[in-house]
Amino acid sequence: MFISSVKAQETSGSKGPLGLFGKAYALAITVIIDDLHPLENEMRIINEHYINWLKRRGKACHELIIAFTAATNSTDSILARCRRLLMQDVGDEKTLAAMDITILVVDAESEEHKEYKLKWEPKAPPPPVVPEKDRSEEPIILGIRDPSLPGKEVLFFRDVDAELAAAIEEAQRRIPEFKALLDCPQAGVTVRIPWVCGDIHDIYEASLVGRNGDELEVEFTPEYAPGPVRKKYRIEEILDWTVHHQNGQKSGGFTTRDAAKGSQTINPPGS
């Protein structure tokens, strides 16, 4: 007789200042994958919890966390099953597209763990297969966080994107300059952020719409979402920044082709 190891727990928090916009809900699920608890069987139970939670909380669903304890070679199978789970069209698309989804995989032997960020994926036909030699040389970014370095992304680029990687390093090295500029009057601010949607890894230009210390709230529209998405990033997670000054000039923009060769910098007033 199969006895599931799945355990689900819901938490809630206030949404908006003083809870004016109600509550936001998070669902945390833990599961053990082994001979007694096959992945296929346990995913059915996880799916039931997931769908029932969406039906019960609707637009208030904010975050989903699933933690697996499994054998070392199980990660690929787990992520594939989780992507299939997230391809279901089971609720409001905007709610699903904006939801934070974290998959945690703990090695059953070493107890080491890795964290993966996934996104809901609408059902769509697979893209046509393109011969490797004809593929555009877009940067590859994998948003796999190292638990020992909170807030840091491990970035992988093609060799031809060495210049882009250097530009991102320059932008992140000059974060203190960015912070100083944020404290001065400006016409607008955009940042480049990593976006992971299933197997697709992109960089998006996003508008800064809010700030709380080192936490930035940005807005952008992924190709896979029905509308704009707002998301919060730690300032050290952004890949590039551009400050547009009131006199029409700008600072930053290191990852643009021209800026990568030498970015103009405007010192904040009083420096």
Nearest to 116 by CA among 168, 159, 88, 154: 154
- Cα angle 84, 87, 93 (rounded to 5 degrees) comes to 155
Whole-number pLDDT of residue 225: 62
Q: Specify the residue for token string 């029905």.
A: 226
Whole-number pLDDT of residue 228: 83
User: Which residues face 193 on adjacent strands?
Assistant: 204
User: Which stretches in the chain have pLDDT values below 70?
Assistant: 1, 15-21, 91, 122-162, 196-201, 223-226, 257-271
pLDDT in tens, 233-256: 999 989 899 999 988 889 998 887
Whole-number pLDDT of residue 137: 43
Whole-number pLDDT of residue 38: 93
Whole-number pLDDT of residue 95: 86
Nearest to 253 by CA among 171, 162, 135: 171
Whole-number pLDDT of residue 148: 39
